[in-house]
C-alpha cells in the first residue's frame, strides 16, 4: 500500500457487524477494522495475542475473571490462550492487529449461529 488509508472511509464502506475488513498489513500481521454491536462469542486464540483499539463507541471484553471496558481511544491486548467475549451495547468501531490468517472466532469458540467459513463452506 503506497497511499494513506482513511479509516473513516473504510468503515463507511460496509455495514456488516462482527465482520472485520483488512485495511493494510504490517510484516505478517493484518490491520483489521470492524463494526460491532451486541455480543460476539466466547473464543480463544491459542497461538496469538489479540490487540484491540476502539475507534468509536465503547467495547466491553468479558474475560472469565473480569470485564474490561474500553472507551474511544483505549487499547487492550487479550493474551494468547485467554478465553474472551467482546460486546458493545450501543455499537463500536474497532481496529485489531492479528497475524495474517487468524480466524475472527479464534482457534476454539462457542457455536456461531448462522455463520459459515468462507474458505471451507463449513459452519463456524
Q: What is the pLDDT of residues 66-115, one digit of tens each?
A: 999 999 999 999 999 999 999 999 999 999 998 888 776 555 544 544 44
* Domain boundaries, position 58: 19-109
Q: Looking at per-residue confidence, does 24 or 110 come out higher?
A: 24
- Total domains in the fold of the chain: 1
Distance CA 29, CA 33 (A): 13
CATH code, domain carrying 91? 2.60.120.10
- Whether the CB-CB separation of 104 and 115 falls below 8 Å is answered with no
Question: Residue 6 falls within a domain, yes or no?
Answer: no
Task: State the cell numbers at 64.
Answer: 472469565
Amino acid at each position: 500500500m503506497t497511499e494513506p488509508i482513511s479509516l473513516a472511509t473504510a468503515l463507511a464502506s460496509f455495514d456488516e457487524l462482527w465482520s472485520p475488513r483488512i485495511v493494510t498489513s504490517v510484516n505478517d500481521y493484518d490491520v483489521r477494522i470492524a463494526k460491532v454491536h451486541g455480543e460476539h462469542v466466547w473464543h480463544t486464540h491459542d497461538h496469538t495475542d489479540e490487540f484491540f483499539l476502539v475507534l468509536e463507541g465503547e467495547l466491553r471484553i468479558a474475560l472469565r475473571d473480569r470485564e474490561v471496558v474500553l472507551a474511544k481511544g483505549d487499547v487492550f491486548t487479550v493474551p494468547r490462550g485467554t478465553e474472551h467475549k467482546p460486546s458493545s451495547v450501543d455499537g463500536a468501531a474497532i481496529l485489531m492487529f492479528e497475524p495474517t490468517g487468524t480466524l475472527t472466532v479464534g482457534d476454539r469458540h462457542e457455536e456461531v449461529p448462522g455463520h459459515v467459513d468462507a474458505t471451507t463452506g463449513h459452519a463456524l
